[in-house]
Amino acid sequence: MSKKENIKSLTFAELESFCKENNIPKFRAEQIFRQIYFSGAQSFQEMKLLPSEVKDILIENFEYNSFKEYKKFISIDGSVKFLFTLHDGNKIEAVYMPWITDEDEKPERTTLCVSSQVGCALDCKFCATGTLDLKRNLEIHEIVSQVLNVESEINEKITNIVFMGMGEPLLNYKNVLKSIEILSDLKMPKIARKKITVSTSGVIPKIYKLADLEKPVKLALSLHATTNGVRDKIVPLNQKSNISELMDAIEYYYRKTKLPITYEYIPFENLNDTEDDAKDLQKSTKEFHLELI
């Protein structure tokens, strides 16, 4: 018997097609989608708007839950780290970060940092995930469910999503892209595309591919050095290309999408923190940067 697909791996259009193929009225697709992504249903049984015969068809064809269990760790600043256990026993993390200007008010915005892989193959020297090695790519529903489960737990709407958790998002390009399509579906958007950022260590071919999308998202570059010699040490992926080629791809992304770029730069003492580094960083990013973090 083949493994059932998880319903959170379907776009709205695919859900409509499934309903049509199974003689379920078309309007039920919107009800199903809305109860998954907006009403917080935790199972098919909790979908109160659906008749029992439709629930039975869904149960017969789809899985619903993505995680076996989770733990959360609350920081003094209000951020919360979630540790999710997948059905194969692997674990991933997501981090909720509220922007609070008044302690008595709700956050002005809430950002969720999501994972795209179990572990990572890139071995960036500043990242703990790189020490774990790559186990596998996350499935679409495992990415999407991070958002839904965190919203349910914190009882707040996520306003911004950043693919900056475990893994290199552009090395799981297909599943990351489809998860974005599901969450930002134009018919019933969970979150606007302009509120979604993909952070990359510099997978150049996929940067060009991402730029050519009809509906692009924001891009963040994990740069961390202004010379190839230093970046080769910090970000080993740089050894397969160079900073000049990477910045050509970044400029293409900016020119094609008109979306400003975010640069991530961690200063390491006596490595990439000189005055020349600062000047070079300013020179290379001044034309199309949004912010430096």
The predicted structure's pLDDT at residue 276: 92
| Gap between the Cα atoms of 147 and 115, Å rounded | 10
Please tell me whether residues 152 and 21 are part of one structural domain: no
Residue corresponding to tokens 């319903």: 7
Please tell me whether residues 160 and 19 are part of one structural domain: no
Please tell me whether residues 124 and 266 are part of one structural domain: yes
Please tell me whether residues 34 and 10 are part of one structural domain: yes
Phi and psi, residue 72, nearest 5° = -130, 150
As for how many domains the chain has, the answer is: 2
Say if 47 falls within a structural domain.
yes
| Gap between the Cα atoms of 178 and 134, Å rounded | 21
| Gap between the Cα atoms of 270 and 275, Å rounded | 11
Please tell me whether residues 41 and 122 are part of one structural domain: no
The pair of three-digit structure tokens given for residue 94, joined into one six-digit string: 């997501």
DSSP state letter for 236: G
| Gap between the Cα atoms of 71 and 56, Å rounded | 31
Ordered mean pLDDT values, 10 residues apiece, the chain (293 residues): 86 97 96 96 95 97 96 94 97 94 78 97 86 93 98 94 97 98 93 95 97 95 94 94 94 93 92 92 71 47
pTM passes above 0.75? yes
| Gap between the Cα atoms of 35 and 23, Å rounded | 20
Say if 71 falls within a structural domain.
no
Please tell me whether residues 52 and 150 are part of one structural domain: no
| Gap between the Cα atoms of 290 and 116, Å rounded | 24
Please tell me whether residues 133 and 278 are part of one structural domain: yes
Residues in the chain: 293
Please tell me whether residues 185 and 215 are part of one structural domain: yes
The predicted structure's pLDDT at residue 285: 78
The predicted structure's pLDDT at residue 71: 96
| Domain span at 12 | 5-63
How many C-beta atoms surround the C-beta of residue 279 within 10 A?
11
Say if 151 falls within a structural domain.
yes
